[in-house]
Amino acid sequence: MCLEKSDWEKCVEFHGHSCPGLAVGYRAAKIGLQELAGHRAEDEELVAIVENDACGVDAVMVLTGCTLGKGNLLYRDHGKHVFTFICRESGKAVRVSVKGGAWRQNDEFRALRDKVFGGTADERERQLFRELQEQRIRYILEAPPEEFCEVQHVKVELPPKARIFNSVTCAFCGEPVSEARARVRDGKFACIPCAGEYTRGW
C-alpha cells in the first residue's frame, strides 16, 4: 500500500533536500493560500509574485501551481523573503513578509555554516550544523504565523495572462526566437545573444 506524500514531502522531493529556505517558502505559501481560501492552480487562477530566487520559491511552485512556464509566477529581484499571492477570480491579494527572527542566525552559526559550505568542517561540526538546520526547519514550520511573518491584504493590479507569441528565425544563429524578444541587427531579426549589447553606461 502506497501512502500519499504530505505537502512538505512533495516540496522536499521536488527541491531535492530539506532546508530552512524551502521551509520559508512552504510556510509562506500555506499562509497565503489559507488567507485567500485558495487551492493549487491548474492554470492561471492564482498568481505568485516572489521577491527572491532562493530555495523557498520551489515550495511556492509545488503548493500553488504557479510556475514560470504557465506565466503566473513573477520574479522581482529584490532579495527579500516576501511573497504576494493573488486570486484572479476574487481579485484578492495577500502579501506575506517573513520576519528576520524566523532565521535565528547569529555569528556562531554563520561561522559554522561557512566552514561546512567551505568544506573545512570536521564530522562533529557537520553533525552540529545538521542538527541546527533541523531545529530551524521545525521552528519555521511550527511557529505561530504572527511570529513567523507579517500578513497584509493588499491591492495589486492583476498582471495580464501569459501570451503565446509567434517565432521568427534569428538571421545569425538560425535558431527560432519569440517575436516579443527578437531584436533587429543590420536590418535582420536577431535573438538577444546575437544582437549584441549597446550601452553608454546608463
Question: Which residue ranges make up each domain of the chain?
Answer: 7-153, 163-201
**Contact criterion met (CB below 8 Å) for 15 and 56:** no
132 pLDDT above the threshold of 60: yes
Single pTM value for the model: 0.85
In words, the CATH class of domain 7-153 is alpha beta
Q: What is the pLDDT of residues 162-193, one digit of tens each?
A: 888 999 999 999 999 999 999 999 999 999 99
Q: Collapsing DSSP states into helix, strand and coil, what is residue 63?
A: helix
Q: Collapsing DSSP states into helix, strand and coil, what is residue 168?
A: strand
Please say whether the structural domain 163-201 has been given the CATH code 3.30.60.
yes
- How much is the pLDDT for 78? 96
* Matching residue, cell 546608463: 202
Please state, in angstroms and rounded to a whole number, the distance separating the CA atoms of residues 31 and 102: 15
Q: Which residue has the higher pLDDT, 121 or 13?
A: 13
Please state, in angstroms and rounded to a whole number, the distance separating the CA atoms of residues 20 and 106: 15
What is the DSSP code (8-state) at residue 44? S
